[in-house]
Amino acid sequence: GDGLDSRFGAFRAETYTAEHRAALGTATTPWTLFVDGYDESGNRIYDKGPKGKTCHQCRQKTVCKHTSCGSCGALRGQFCGDCLFMRYGENVDEANNDDAWRCPPCRDLCNCSFCRQRKGWPPTGSMYRRALREGFTSVAHYLVLGGGEDDREETPTTPSAEGATEPIQPRVGYEVVQTEAVVQDVRASHMRSFKKAPRSTPPVTGKVRSVNALHDAAPATPPAEPNARKRLRKEA
């Protein structure tokens, strides 16, 4: 009813305001990824019991440091250290030492797939490496700061390769064109591979040839005469 079709990327325009930019977090101390909550072999420690806590971002119940929101105090305010750093550029230790710390959902900054889909936005996938390549601290900084520093009520944004700050057109058009092109390209490639694939004909095996040879060499059985029974009856 709202004209959205997630199959082809027809999502709502992704917009951010000056309040979103002001709500972005920072980290004054470094955070080492893939250490907290991992064993000596580098495997993540999962626990379905009372020791484990579920991260709102990755939705994994692990034994590691998690945040606690000073505003909502809800489960949605639990973020593991790695997700908080990669997705929002914040340090879990600093967040837990600040009683007034507010979680990304309370700041309307959450970029998890569930929160984005509720807004009609596509999920980002693993975007951390791309954010770093383009000079942003985290995925949240990449999304919010990527398109503009305009102080209007709403600023449609899309990060550029240089981290430029020119306002651009809403993302909805960009998403539709890009996603439909990918879908069409995938369909075309499938059709090309289907057309190029030769039709497989089962090879004639030796057994089949021998059977055919026997069949060809066998003397043909003469067809029965249609009036043979009538002649026999007359002779009798």
Burial class (CB in 10 A: 0-12, 13-18, 19+), 148: buried
* pLDDT band (50, 70, 90) for residue 146: confident
**DSSP per-residue codes, 80-141:** BHHHHHHHH---HHHHHT-TT---TTTTT---SHHHHHHTT-----S-HHHHHHTT-SSHHH
- DSSP category for residue 42: S
Residue-wise pLDDT for 51-70, tens only, equals 999 999 999 999 999 999 99
> Which tokens belong to 122?
């596509």
Asked if the model's pLDDT at residue 192 lies above 90, the reply is no
* pLDDT band (50, 70, 90) for residue 206: very low
Q: Assess contact for 33 and 86: CB atoms under 8 A.
A: yes
**Looking at residues 125-147, what average pLDDT do you find?**
93
The rounded distance, in Å, linking the Cα atoms of 204 and 126 is 52
> Nearest Cα to 67, choosing from 42, 116, 31, 38?
31
Asked if the model's pLDDT at residue 107 lies above 70, the reply is yes
**DSSP per-residue codes, 149-179:** ---SS-EE----TT--------HHHHHHHHH
Could you tell me which residues come within 8 angstroms of residue 171 by beta carbon, excluding any fewer than 6 positions away?
11, 13, 14, 156, 157, 158
Asked if the model's pLDDT at residue 141 lies above 70, the reply is yes
Could you tell me which residues come within 8 angstroms of residue 29 by beta carbon, excluding any fewer than 6 positions away?
91, 93, 94
The rounded distance, in Å, linking the Cα atoms of 150 and 131 is 21
pLDDT at 48: 87
